[in-house]
A and B are shown apart, each in its own frame.
Chain A
Amino acid sequence: MHETLYAVAAIAVVALVTWGLRAAPFLLFGNRPLPKTMRYLGKALPPAIMTVLVIYCLRNTAFDRSPFGIPELAACALVAVLQIVKRNMYLSIIAGTVCYMVLIRVL
């Protein structure tokens, strides 16, 4: 029973902190009109955040030992080239993921 209580409390704590973080901008500005600076950030931040997220996703790449990050870099290059040339999101994602899954097995 003590175990169950701990598990429930753990989920509650992690959930509440996560919700608080997601709700922070909304709680901060309430029903007041949004300051112009925040509007500007609302437009300027997304491309910056997405760029950071891509690099964040690649953070566990091991460049210092075989296969030296080749699967990650090659798969990203394939995604980029396909998306630039073909502009088909599904094709880019599927081809890139398959390429990555094959390379981590053969290299």
Chain B
Amino acid sequence: MRELRFAVKNTIPIFFTYLFIGIAFGILTVDAGYSVPLSVASALFIYAGSMQLVMIPMMTSGASLISLALMTFFINARHIFYGISFVERFRKMGWRGVYMVLALTDETYSVLCSVQYEPNLDEDRAAFYIALLNHLYWIFGCLVGACAGRLLPFDMTGIDFSATAFFLVVVINQWRQYRTKLPFLTAATCALGFYLLLGKDYFLIPTLLTCLIALLVLRRPIEAKEGREDA
């Protein structure tokens, strides 16, 4: 029970983010002529916000399954990098670990990266609840949007900024935790450089790949400050 309460406390920002983006997706789905079950099935099985939002207009234009697969690959390729930090941890968690691998979204990844577990807490259980709660928030948002999105009495445009704010908070907390600032500076330089060079639609994957290579090159100075990872 303590683990569940801890997970609720640490996922409150995600609740608002997912609720709103989920509602936006639900509205889009129903407006495009698809049913409520389709919205919920996407939330349950795909569980990737930006790809779901891209998928609907592609479906209405009758895109082939191959182009859907390719688009998914390019939009979600960043997820490859998320598992790297959790391989050993999730492997030990049995069926819960399998679920956590498949449910590793941007938001869940950042909560798991930044969460400070309280003493005497079953950390694996708490991490599982964090992943599960986020998923439920997302399904709930997609359901509400599909069923009642048009009935909402107020304009919530801009509330999705809460995701940006949350990621920024995580970065600031990491900045405090890490003695070396090289990963932050490398990432910011690569991201801004590729953004200016390639534009907003194409900079993400080259940025992540360049960061990966740069961090391998910078291993010595980074490990000198952070300490070596010995097996």
Contact = CB atoms under 8 A, between A and B. Distances in A.
Nearest to B204: A56
B45 A15 contact: yes
Interface residues of A, number: 65
A33 B231 CA distance: 9
A90 B14 CA distance: 11
A101 B168 contact: no
A52 B191 contact: yes
A14 B63 CA distance: 12
Contacts of B106: 53
A52 B190 contact: yes
A92 B169 contact: yes
Interface stretch (B117-125, B132-140, B145-153, B170-178): B170-178
Interface of B: 12-13, 16, 34, 38, 41-42, 45-48, 51-52, 55, 58-59, 62, 65, 68-69, 72-73, 76-88, 90-91, 101-104, 106, 109-110, 113, 157-159, 161-175, 178, 183-184, 186-188, 190-192, 195, 200, 203-204, 207-208, 211-212, 215-216, 219, 222-223, 226, 229-231
Nearest to B185: A51
A38 B84 contact: yes
Nearest to A101: B158
A45 B170 CA distance: 14
B167 to A, nearest CB: 5
Contacts of A70: none
Given A14-B68, A22-B102, A23-B101, A54 B168 contact: yes
A6 to B, nearest CB: 7
Given A14-B68, A80-B172, A49 B187 contact: yes
Contact of A13 (B68, B103, B161, B169): B68
Given A22-B82, A42-B84, A76-B164, A51 B212 contact: no
